[in-house]
Structures are given as structure tokens and as C-alpha cells.
Amino acid sequence: MERKSAWDKIQDKKIVFRFCDDYIKYLNHSKTERVCVSYTRRLAEAAGFKELDTIDRLKPGMKVYKINRGKNIVLAAIGKDDIDSGFNLVAAHIDSPRIDVKQIPLYEDSNLALFKTHYYGGIKKYQWTAIPLSLIGVVVLEDGTVIDVNIGESENDPVFTITDLLPHLASEQMAKKMSEGIGGEDLNIIIGSLPSDCEKDKYKQTVIDLLQEKYQVQEEDFISAELELVPNFNARSLGLDSSMIAAYGQDDRVCAYTAYKAIAELDVPQRTAICFLADKEEIGSMGNTGMQSRFFENFVAKLIAKQKDGYCELMLKDAFSNAMCLSSDVTCAMDPTFKSVSEPLNSAYLGEGVAFSKFTGARGKSSTSDASAEFVAKIRKILNDADVAWQMTELGKVDQGGGGTVAQYIANLDVDTIDCGVPLLSMHAPYEVSSKVDVYMAYKAYKAFYVAE
Ligand code: MN
Ligand code: MN
């Protein structure tokens, strides 16, 4: 197999760069699943999508969306065919590895007020120390009032950080295994250092007073809060030639954005196109906002009921049996500095286009959906007919490690499913790297897939 740069298929590089400018904007408004859902909704409404429950009868060409508990959004472009004859689904996820604030977070020590945290997803903990972090999320009061918190993203806001040990005193730390250099309970966030007039807990009290004054939040309210610490730095073009993007959360908002953008630009497809942006993928797709939730089936059932007279369970089953899916998630690009973990023939490479994987999982293809040869052939044709630059890949060498995606949960619903996505360097780090041409090719692939028959 000859390796080819995806840039060779680009006539005018400006189109790719312009496309990625909007993607960079999306990343900067989407650092948590909640803000990603509200930003996507804003874009979708401006593009003509309507909330599904406001529509009585679905007709071809209509665009609808539904939000699940503020953390998961699904969008559909209604096709000419009935939905029980199948749909084309692109599923990505919008949660990313991060640091969550604990339910009882606040304490003071050595003239500092701090928050205890619990990390979310697979992180290398040492990467999250000594960098600026923003605090984004919600605090929900007992009466149901939702207070939005977003500190650090505006230029005049303060930021937060997790401390690390100075090298002068770190000889013991440095002798440890990398996985043990920073422990889970070491990820404490510095919140403040101003003493109050109180006798006891004077540093903690300043924070409590400020929270009361600015947000009308009491200490107990943290119990019903979801506060996430995410890298403060914004997405940027990377490299002397600006051909790449460095940003937090490209896993998997790169597939979320491209999948959204492609469905937003559809006219009237033959088959209904659906874009599902899931939460909780990084921790196993569990819970009612994850891919394993019934929410997705309920949404498709609702589409059918609003399209046809007399909904029945069999129609839903037919819709899934006849559906096909791109499970769209990032993969590992060959890193010239860490080549030994990848097998060169089957690795994804930066700049060679959107990466497909017949399977993910670990060891002997454990915990994965293995796409059928028949389905892979069909996908090849769709991509080649649309002149998409794509590559067939595996994540790392056999037995090197591995990972899963939402593919298996969608495939379990009786849907033909294959993994694909954008290759990244430094995946799951606070600053991940993608190639602009791969981002563009993912968008082109999703556009071609949505309208395939
Ligand atoms: Mn992912
Ligand atoms: Mn991930």
C-alpha cells in the first residue's frame, strides 16, 4: 500500500485553513460537555434545527435536535425514506479527560485554601500540574436553581493550578515510576490565600464569603455541583506553516464538530442522517447521558412516531437493523519520538486523512466491535467515490495496550458500525495535536457517509 499525503488531494489549502478556523472557535467554546452542548445548540438553531418536541409531524428535509440532561445532544436531518428503512449515524463524544472537583472539596492548609479533586478519564496525572486551569460547571441549589460557573475563560478572570514539586527537592519523586510521581490525591487545586477576620479556618472562610457574595453558593451546595477543571489555554494553529492544531479536548470534539458541520450542511438526504454527541465515553459510556443509555433508542422511536402513523416496536428494530454507523473517535498517530509503540504498516499517520479502524479493543481484539468485511467494503466505496483521503489503521502494536470507543454499544443495537476519526499526537494530554487536513477529511467523509444509500 502506497502512503500518500492528504494534502495532495487539496487544490486550495485556504479552504482547509478556513474550515479549521471555525473548528478552533468551536473548541474554545466547548471545553466541557455542558458548554459544548449549549454551543452546538446555538449553532444548530442558527442553521435551522428545531427542538424535536416542538414538531408534530416530521417531513423530509426537516432538521431537529434533542438535548439529554444538558450533557448530550443528538441531531437529525430527516430523509426522504421512512426511518424504519434505516438511517446513517455518525456518533462522537464530547466529554474529555479532566479534573473534577470533589463533592466536599474545600479545605485549608499552610495559609492556602484548596479544593480536593477526582480526575475523570485516562490521564497521565503529572501532565496536569503547573498549568493554568479554568473552572467550568454548575452548582445546583436545593430549590433546583442552576448556577453556571465559568472562571478562567475570560481574559480578566483569575485561573487555577495544581502545584508540583521543585526539582531541588524532588529526588525521591523523580526516582518513582512516572505513574506514581503524582498521586490521585495530589491533584489539589489552589483556590485562595487571603485570610479573613475569622479565628478558625480563616483562609477557607474567605473562599466561602466570596462564593456567597458572587454566586449565592453555600459550602454545602458543592454536594450538588458538577465543577470541572480544564486547561485554560485556547486552541491555536501549530507549526511554522500553521498546518496543525494544538488544543485541549480534540478527543473527541474534533469528530463532534466535523460530524455536526456535515449534518448542518445537508440538503434533503435519501436516508435520515443522525449525529449523536455522547457524554461519558471516557469513563465507559455508562449512565443516562452515555452511549449505553436508552436515550438514543428513545430518540429514534420518537422520530418514527412523528413520521409515521401507528408506531410499533418492530419499526424501531427495523430502523436499527437497516442503519449504518461511523463511530467517530480519535486514534493515535505515529509519533516519531515514540515509534516503538506503533506498528508502522497499520499505524495512522498525521496528514494522511481520516483514520478508519475495523476494530479497536485490546489484546486478542477484546472488547470491541469488529466491523464486517462487507461493511468495510461498502465504506471504502463511499470514501473513494467522494475523493476522501483516508487510511486503514490500528491503535498501537498488538499487545501494546489498546482502547475502546462507543462502536460496540451501537453495534449491539444491530447496527453495522465501524470506527473512524482523526489521528492525534499527545492524545489525552492537556494539549493534543491534530493535522488540519485530517480534520477537513473527517468532515468530507461524514458528509459523504450521511448521504450514502
Ligand atoms: Mn475518544
Ligand atoms: Mn479518549
Q: What is the pLDDT of residues 60-104, one digit of tens each?
A: 999 999 999 999 999 999 999 999 999 999 999 999 999 999 999
Taking the C-alpha atoms of residue 260 and residue 271, their distance in angstroms, rounded to an integer, is 17
Pairing between β-strand 331-332 and β-strand 423-424 as defined by DSSP bridges = parallel
Res. 2: pLDDT tops 90: no
Write out the residues surrounding ion ligand 1, Cβ under 5 A. Answer: 251-252, 329
**Number of Cα atoms under 13 Å in the Cβ half of residue 419:** 28
CB-based contacts of 193: which residues, under 8 Å, 6+ apart?
111, 112, 113, 203
Res. 142: pLDDT tops 90: yes
Give the residue-averaged pLDDT of 165-192.
98
Q: What are phi and psi of 143, to 5 degrees?
A: -85, 5
78 touches 307 (CB < 8 A): yes
Q: What are phi and psi of 427, to 5 degrees?
A: -55, 140
214-271 pLDDT, tens digit per residue, is: 999 999 999 999 999 999 999 999 999 999 999 999 999 999 999 999 999 999 999 9
C-alpha of residue 393 to centroid of ligand 1, in Å: 15
Nearest listed ligand to the Cα of residue 94: 1
Three-state SS annotation for 369-395: CCCCHHHHHHHHHHHHHCCCCEEECCC
C-alpha of residue 60 to centroid of ligand 2, in Å: 35
Q: What is the pLDDT of residue 310?
A: 83
Q: How many CB atoms lie within 10 A of CB 146?
A: 10
| All cell numbers assigned to 240 | 511554522
435-447 pLDDT, tens digit per residue, is: 999 999 999 999 9
Res. 389: pLDDT tops 80: yes
Give the residue-averaged pLDDT of 11-34.
98
Nearest listed ligand to the Cα of residue 330: 1
**Number of Cα atoms under 13 Å in the Cβ half of residue 295:** 24
Res. 309: pLDDT tops 90: no
The SS3 call for residue 230 is strand
Dihedral through CA 9, CA 12, CA 17, CA 18, nearest 10?
-120
Is omega for the bond preceding 252 within 30 degrees of 0, making it cis? Answer: yes
C-alpha of residue 360 to centroid of ligand 2, in Å: 12
C-alpha of residue 330 to centroid of ligand 1, in Å: 5
Nearest listed ligand to the Cα of residue 254: 1
DSSP state of 231: E
Cα 284 to chain center, whole Å? 13
C-alpha of residue 382 to centroid of ligand 1, in Å: 24
Q: Which of 203, 123, 131 is nearest to 161 (CA)?
A: 131
User: What is the per-residue burial (b if ≥16 Cβ within 10 Å, else e) of 404-414?
Assistant: bbbbbbbbebe
Q: Which of 319, 378, 379, 336 is nearest to 354 (CA)?
A: 379
253 touches 94 (CB < 8 A): yes
C-alpha of residue 282 to centroid of ligand 1, in Å: 7
DSSP state of 276: E
CB-based contacts of 228: which residues, under 8 Å, 6+ apart?
32, 98, 99, 100, 101, 120, 135, 136, 137
C-alpha of residue 428 to centroid of ligand 2, in Å: 6
C-alpha of residue 429 to centroid of ligand 2, in Å: 10
Q: Which bin fits 25, alpha (ψ -120 to 50), beta or left (φ > 0)?
A: alpha
Residues of the chain above pLDDT 70, percent: 100
